[in-house]
Amino acid sequence: MLRMPIRQRRDWRAQAEQYGFKFHTMYGEAYWDESAYYQFTLDQIEQGIEAPTAEIHQMCLAVVDKVVRSEELMQRFQIPQPFWDRIAQSWQDKEPSLYSRLDLAYDGVNPAKLYENNADTPTSLYESGFWQWLWLEQQVDRGALPRSSDQFTSLQEKLIQRFAALKSRYPGQVLHLSCCKDTEEDFGTVTYLQDCAEAAGIETRFVYIEDIGHGEGEWLTDLDNQVITWLFKLYPWEFMLREQYAGLTLNTGVNFLEPIWKGSVLSNKALLPMLWKLFPGHPNLLPAFFEDELDNVASMPLVKKPFFSREGANICILQDGTAIEQSDGPYGEEGFIYQAYYPLPKFGGNYTLIGSWLVDDEPAGISVREDSGLITQDLSRCLPHTILN
């Protein structure tokens, strides 16, 4: 695993314009950075990342199976009581999932360590599945990279296959896709998924989260009063279950992507201490604890994370009970978990985080993000990668 400088494609901004990639620069800072790339060996990709990703996902599903059978654990996961039965049912019915991103600390040598599981609303999908793929094609065509270069990015292919499978499960249904207003990045992610769904032959419609209506008969409706029966929402389940229309999600005539079992249990930091309980000492896991277990924990540096948080907000790194680095944010009212401190590897002054994608339960590629600080936040940069043996 090497960080390699490379000449940028001269016309990449013009191409970004053409392909509708609008959030390559955010808050006035570069988000897409192709002045360098990461080079992996095939072994690093397959043994170091791909196999652990599949295994971690299966371990996470084992946690779901345990949590949905226990009222005590549903409580610990801060899931509102009126939805416990619905979540258990959703798991029992095997309501299908679409995609997830595991955040891994990986240095190319030591076992990858799971930081967290973005199972409900992962973004950076477009730049991982399409934009870095295009970068590789063009850099090879232009002779800047060897012909034998490969990349771990089967996301787009797998997403289209997954949508085709979902289409036969919900024949003839219209898929509504939704995200919040005024979010260029989320809108880009949803548009990408809409393209993939349509490539699989699914009829789609878009509606903003804020525009969704409550229709007669406990339905969700779009702006044309059409009943929503199948909804991809890039909006966290933990928000939905605490808002005015929460009760409407109990209507079993509506199929959600991601399903409620996935959003409520997997995309919840309580997952991390539960994983450690079920699979203690697993090489790809970091020790993790609930707050009331800390008394029994040997002294070690810890990272304090809210049950629900996004983009590295409200994270605190603790050494002997003192914060050595922390990020602000609006999260934390539901409580915190503690995870053993395991700093990100550093490549040329940058802290590097691997996002490892799954489509349903199949590993489907990686994205590489760099941040100048230890906590990867929404100002981090996204870099392409290659596989070369």
Looking only at residues 69 through 128 of this chain, which bind other proteins when binding is defined by CB under 8 A? 118, 121-124
User: Token digits for 21?
Assistant: 């990639």
> Contact 227/215 with Cβ under 8 angstroms?
yes
Find the shortest distance in angstroms from Cβ 247 to other proteins: 9
Q: Taking CB under 8 A as the criterion, which residues in 7-26 touch other proteins?
A: 17-20, 23, 26
Pick from 96, 213, 301, 345: which binds other proteins (CB under 8 A)? 213
Contact 8, 35 (CB under 8 A): yes
Q: Min. distance of Cβ 371 from other proteins in angstroms?
A: 14
Q: Residues 380, 371: contact at Cβ < 8 Å? A: yes
Nearest 5 degrees, angle CA 173-CA 252-CA 232?
A: 50
In a 13 Å sphere around the CA of 207, the CA atoms on its Cβ side amount to 24
Distance in Å, CB of 298 to other proteins, minimum: 31
Residue 65 or 150 with smaller CB distance to other proteins:
150
Nearer Cβ to other proteins (203/361): 203
Q: Which is nearer to other proteins, 301 or 373 (CB)?
A: 373
Q: Which is nearer to other proteins, 309 or 352 (CB)?
A: 309
Q: CB 50 → other proteins: shortest distance, Å?
A: 8
When the beta carbons of 69 and 242 are compared against other proteins, the nearer one is 242
Nearest approach in angstroms of CB 92 to other proteins is 26
Q: How far is the CB of 146 from other proteins (least distance, A)?
A: 15
Closer residue to other proteins in complex, CB, 71/210:
210
Stretch that binds other proteins, among 75-83, 207-215, 256-264, 274-282 (CB under 8 A): 207-215
Strand 362-371 with 336-340, pairing: unpaired
Structure tokens given for 273: 């201490």
Nearer to other proteins, 171 or 281 (CB): 171
Number of residues assigned to the chain: 389
**What number of chain residues touch other proteins (CB under 8 A)?**
75
Q: How far apart are CA 217 and CA 123, in angstroms?
A: 33
Q: Which of residues 221-280 bind other proteins (CB under 8 A)?
A: 221, 224-227, 229, 234-236, 239-240, 242-245, 248
Tell me the closest approach of the beta carbon of residue 196 to other proteins, in angstroms. Answer: 10
Q: Are 263 and 113 in contact (CB under 8 A)?
A: no
The minimum distance between CB 296 and other proteins, in angstroms, equals: 31
Rule CB under 8 A: which of 141-200 touch other proteins?
Answer: 150-157, 172, 174, 179-180, 182-187, 189, 195, 199
- Note whether 306 and 334 are within 8 A (CB): yes
Kindly list the distances between the CA atom of residue 119 and the CA atoms of 39, 208, 222, in Å, as whole numbers in the listed order: 27, 21, 25
The separation between CA 246 and the C-alpha centre of its own chain, rounded to angstroms, equals 23
Nearer to other proteins, 68 or 188 (CB): 188
- The footprint of other proteins on residues 323-352 (CB under 8 A) is 328-331
Query: Which two tokens mark 239?
Result: 């928000």
Indicate if the alpha-carbon torsion angle 108, 109, 114, 116 is positive or negative: negative
Pick 88 or 363: Cβ nearer other proteins: 363
Cis check: omega of the bond before 258, within 30 degrees of 0: yes
> Dihedral sign, CA of 301, 351, 290, 274?
negative
C-alpha distances out from residue 282 to 64, 132, 288, 366, Å: 18, 32, 12, 22
| Residue 289 β-bridge partners | 338
Among 304, 310, 369, 381, which residue sits at the site for other proteins (rule: CB under 8 A)?
310
- Of 12, 170, 206, 219, the one binding other proteins by CB under 8 A: 219
Minimum CB–partner distance for residue 311 and other proteins (Å):
5
